Structure 1
Amino acid sequence: MTVSRTRRAWIAGLMLALAGGLTPARADEPVTVFAAASLKNALDEASAAWTQETAKTTRISYAGSNALAKQIEAGAPADLFVSADLAWMDYAEKNGTIRSETRVNLLRNAIVLVAPKGSTQKVALEPGVDLAKALAGGRLAMGNVEAVPAGKYGKAALEKLGAWDGVRTQVAQAENVRAALLLVARGEAPLGIVYATDAASEPGVEVVATFPEGSHPPIVYPAALTKESRNADAAAFLTYLRSPAARPFFERQGFGVIGTEKRS
């Protein structure tokens, strides 16, 4: 039986890819993205626009950056990781689960104090602020303060303002920032600390005050391809997220876009 020239070329290409340790991705395989929960609205919009433009698709899993980094470390099949802070991307890089040469800083954000819609709370976020008094026996909703980026930023800010010791026993710690946001929107917590972008996306809350920039480390969202990714479309999607075409989706949600600026 004669093997066609086209088939011989295809087989040769496959053997070359396998010899190089690569497993060719199917042409229709979605790009699997592990992204911080706070990115959902903006990234869903950006992904939809990319699909419309290229006919390529994504599959996005949203959670706390800490959970995602550890899932990737455990072998979860992700192509692209977008973290809500530098620390968890550093963790992934140290453990060899991302491709360091693809790592870029993508976005900036801010943290705010929110209350349920219609609240009459007045809080000045300045040194010596008495948040316990504002809580009036209620809970302060935050992401886990030891692991979730928004929770870590919030704790750092409260410590800087001298308010942490007064509220530490009243904190309701959530698995991610969107869960903390929901506690406030439902009226289950009178106050919460979330990203400015989350507050803008939830009609059930209103911003009481914004934390001063100097009260916490800069909020930077880095992105990188994972070491185990074999999907060529993943690099194209990351390039799209850094392009002018994607910028409006992030800015509409309140993110600051770093663009093509590399990490220092």
Structure 2
Amino acid sequence: MRPTRRILAALALGLLAHSANSRPARAEGPVVVFAAASLKNALDDATAAWTKETGKTARISYAGSNALAKQIEAGAPADLFISADQAWMDSVERAGLLKPGSRIDLLRNALVLVAPGPKKSGSDPEVALAPDLGTTLKKLLGGGKLAMATIDAVPAGKYGKAALEKLGAWESVKTQVAQAENVRAALLLVARGEAPLGIVYATDAAADASVHVLATFPPDSHPPIVYPAAITAESQHPDAAALLSFLRGPTAGSAFARQGFTLIDPPGAGR
């Protein structure tokens, strides 16, 4: 009996080790995408086009890049991650949670100052982003708030703070900043009239007719706004690479361009 028990115990341990170290590939179901909130309209359109073309589907979770990165690091199942900045993608990569060689720079964006309501002809001239910007913003704000995504975590908030610092306006307005959990939440504060000004991406402003752009921040006033994308190390979905490739192509590129994004180095582009 004892040899038999030893054999059974060894078999049981072997089965436990096998189950712990092997995960069956998800050959069916949607590709799970974790994407920055600012991508919603464009990425919804792009993945709808992918579904129409291939019959495959994607399930997208939108949030601030910081929240998504932390979820992946905590073990949340995702096949693709698209961040609104390099820092949070770097964090996931340092943790060994990206598939080697899959990371690309997908899109570029711009940063704008917005106000509530549609732009009226002949009114609301663009704000001059000059050295006295702080004084100008204080006048426009009155006693109201400047809506921004979280300034120390969410990419849009970090870009916005960097731009205000570079233009000498941060100290003048920092006490009037209303921080939102992501850039779309900041946009909503302006769209509802709860904040007289907001700093969001150009693509967010383009997606919401209830706000209008007062000014575009110079590209050199903040770090480059680049959206990296990558397949996660845990992904075994057979369609993850195909979807990432599709997002770099002309059909998805058109969807991104309609929302104001610039596609970086699409396949086949001349160098």
Q: CA deviation at 1:210?
A: 0.3
Matched, 1:56 2:50: no
Cross-structure match for 2:129: 125
Alpha-carbon offset, residue 99 of structure 1:
1.6
Q: 1:46 and 2:64 equivalent?
A: no
- Partners of 1:32 and 1:217 lie apart in 2 by 29
Residue in 2 that maps onto 1:257:
263
Cα offset for 1:26? 3.2
Q: CA deviation at 1:259?
A: 3.1
Q: How does 1:130-145 map to 2 (within 5 A)?
A: 130=135, 131-145=137-151
**Based on CA coordinates, which of the two structures has the bigger radius of gyration?**
2
Any residues of structure 2 matched to 1:130-169 within 5 Å, and which? 130=135, 131-169=137-175
State how far apart, in whole Å, the 2-side matches of 1:69 and 1:38 are.
15
Q: Is the 8 A contact 1:85 1:149 kept in 2?
A: yes
TM-score for both structures, normalised by structure 2: 0.86
TM-score, normalised to structure 1's length? 0.89
The superposition leaves residues 209-241 of structure 1 with CA deviations (integer Å, 9 ceiling, x where unpaired) of: 000111001100000001111101111100100
Superimposed CA distance per residue, residues 179-229 of structure 1 (whole angstroms, 9 cap, x where no aligned partner):
000000000000000000000000100000000111001100000001111
CA contact 1:109–1:220 (8 Å) conserved in 2: yes
**Contact 1:111/1:194, CA 8 A, preserved across alignment:** yes
Q: How far is 1:19 from its partner?
A: 11
Two-structure CA RMSD over aligned residues (Å) = 1.8
Paired letter, 1:152: K
- Work out the number of aligned pairs and report it: 244
- Alpha-carbon distance, 1:126 to partner: 1.9
- 2:50 partner SS: helix
Percent of aligned pairs with the same residue?
A: 67
CA contact (8 A) 2:250 2:266 kept: no
CA–CA separation in structure 2 for the residues paired with 1:124 and 1:46: 35
Range that drifts further, 113-122 or 213-222: 113-122
Secondary structure of the corresponding residue to residue 130 of structure 2: coil
SS at match of 1:124: coil
In 2, Cα distance between equivalents of 1:132 and 1:25: 54
Aligned partners of 1:155 and 1:232: how far apart in 2?
40
Amino acid in structure 2 at the alignment position of 1:140: L
How far residue 128 of structure 1 moved from its aligned partner, in angstroms, is 2.6
- The answer to whether the 8 A contact 1:117-1:206 is kept is yes
Q: Deviations over 1:113-161 (max 9, x none)?
A: 0000157545211223121122111000000000010000000000000
> Which amino acid is 2:169 matched to?
A
Which runs of structure 2 are paired with 1:162-241 in the superposition (5 Å)? Answer: 162-241=168-247
Deviation at residue 92 of structure 1 after TM alignment: 0.8
The CA distance in 1 between the partners of 2:178 and 2:184, in whole Å, is: 13
Does the CA-based 8 Å contact 1:121-1:134 persist in structure 2? no
C-alpha distance in 1 between matches for 2:95 and 2:132: 40
* Matched residue SS, 2:26: coil
Unaligned 5+ residue runs, structure 2? Answer: 1-18
SS in 2 for 1:102: coil
